Amino acid sequence: MKRILLYLVLVLLLLGVVGCSRCSSGGERVAEIVFIDQAVICPLVKKTIDSTWVELGNAVGDRDIMVKRIHKDRSGNVARKYMKIKATGLLPAIYFFDGNGELVEFLAGEQSSDAIVAVLDSR
């Protein structure tokens, strides 16, 4: 069990940025962000999730963007809806949608506010 947790932590740390190959290529503005994480998880991964949540808040700032946070272990049906759009084993998963509800970008794993701002500014 410890070996599996260590492996997961290493994957999260080493593969922090995951881009989306199935996202729309248009220049639509991000209107909604969905942040999927897990409420009950090992402390090291929780620290990564919490830090990315703070970075997301810093990146969004006062922009007019709706942000939803979904704990997949508490709201599994809701989380599955998004994870069917773009599946990932890394947490947190951040889905960026335009005003039409189309996925425009996707990030997974630990993220900095700079990485998130880059997505927001590219739209």
* Res 86 pLDDT > 60: yes
pLDDT value of residue 66:
98
Q: Is 28 helix (H, G, I), strand (E, B) or coil?
A: coil
Lookup: tokens for 1 = 């069990």
Q: What is the mean pLDDT of the chain?
A: 85
What CATH number corresponds to the domain at position 11?
A: 3.40.30.10
Task: Write the DSSP string, 34-99.
Answer: EEEE-SS--HHHHHHHHHHHHHHHHHHTTSS-EEEEEETTTSHHHHHHHHHHS--SSSSEEEEEET
Question: Which structural domain, as residue segments, surrounds residue 59?
Answer: 2-121
Residue pLDDT, tens place only, 14-63: 344 444 444 555 567 999 999 999 999 999 999 999 999 999 999 999 99
* Res 12 pLDDT > 70: no
CB 31, CB 65: distance < 8 Å? yes
Q: Looking at the 3D structure of the chain, how many domains does it have? A: 1
pLDDT top residue among 1 and 102:
102
Provide the percentage of residues in the chain whose pLDDT is more than 90.
75
The pTM is what?
Answer: 0.80
